[in-house]
């Protein structure tokens, strides 16, 4: 079913909205969640919570891109669950490692001022992403949005792991320089 029709089902408060969302996006959302959590049951729970969050958000919100809207909800729910587990010292997977790769490039949000500056950071990162080649942008997004393992990225794009690591290393360095130039760092 077309995304606009699914969104319309949400606006009509039809329970078929959840059914159609699940048919079309369950694998996509599960992929995102599992790459963060690495536990099937928790990933499935986050996907189900994504549907509930979407149900409660539409209306009043009308997403322009349903996949991005659902992906963002799934990521946020998965990271919240990840943080809870990490606080309980039940850390797992490579999520900490993937996030730490960006630590030197992206400032953390710990104060109100930094939170306000996040909008400028988002704009700067979006401008940075448009400056990358299509392949570099895809590799970057697979690693840092979908938290995909390097081996999986290499296989998806017909590269060796060394090439993927090199692309990511150069992209992080370019991102850091870009953010410094933009005055975000």
Cα 172 to Cα 185: distance, rounded to the nearest angstrom: 13
Structure confidence at residue 84 (pLDDT): 85
Place of tokens 């946020």: 76
| 62 secondary structure, DSSP code | -
Tens of each residue's pLDDT in the chain, 185 residues: 999 999 999 999 999 999 999 999 999 999 999 999 999 999 999 999 999 999 999 999 999 999 999 999 999 999 999 888 876 554 455 666 676 676 666 655 554 455 445 677 788 899 999 999 999 999 999 999 899 999 999 999 999 999 999 999 999 999 999 988 988 77
Coil vs helix vs strand at 29: helix
Rg (CA), the chain: 18
From-to residues of CATH 1.10.1740 in the chain: 3-87
Which CATH code fits 3-87? 1.10.1740
How many residues are recorded in the chain? 185
Whether residue 120 contacts residue 184, with contact meaning beta carbons closer than 8 Å, is answered with: yes
Please tell me whether the overall predicted TM-score, pTM, comes out greater than 0.85 for this model: no
Other CB atoms closer than 10 Å to residue 15's CB: what's the count? 9
CB-based burial, 130-163: b 16+ in 10 Å, e otherwise: eebeeebbebbebbbebbbbbeebbeeeebeeee
Alpha carbons within 13 A on the beta-carbon side of 125: 16
Task: Kindly report the number of other CB atoms within 10 A of residue 64's CB atom.
Answer: 9
Tell me which CATH code domain 97-181 carries. 1.10.10.10
Name the segment(s) of the chain with CATH classification 1.10.10.10: 97-181
Give the three-class secondary structure for 158.
coil
pLDDT score, position 100: 67
């Amino acid at each position: 079913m077309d995304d606009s029709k699914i969104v319309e089902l949400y606006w009509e408060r039809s329970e078929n909205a959840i059914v159609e969302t699940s048919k079309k996006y369950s694998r996509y959302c599960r992929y995102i969640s599992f790459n963060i959590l690495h536990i099937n049951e928790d990933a499935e729970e986050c996907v189900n919570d994504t549907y509930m969050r979407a149900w409660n958000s539409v209306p009043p919100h009308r997403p322009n891109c349903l996949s991005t809207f659902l992906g963002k909800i799934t990521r946020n729910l998965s990271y919240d669950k990840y943080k809870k587990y990490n606080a309980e010292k039940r850390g797992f997977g490579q999520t900490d490692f993937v996030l730490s790769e960006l630590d030197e490039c992206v400032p953390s949000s710990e104060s109100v001022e930094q939170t306000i500056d996040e909008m400028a950071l988002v704009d700067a990162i979006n401008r940075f992403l448009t400056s990358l080649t299509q392949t570099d942008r895809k590799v970057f997004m697979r690693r840092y949005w979908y938290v995909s393992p390097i081996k999986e990225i290499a296989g998806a794009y017909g590269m060796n792991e060394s090439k993927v690591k090199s692309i990511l290393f150069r992209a992080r360095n370019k991102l850091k320089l870009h953010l410094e130039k933009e005055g975000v760092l």
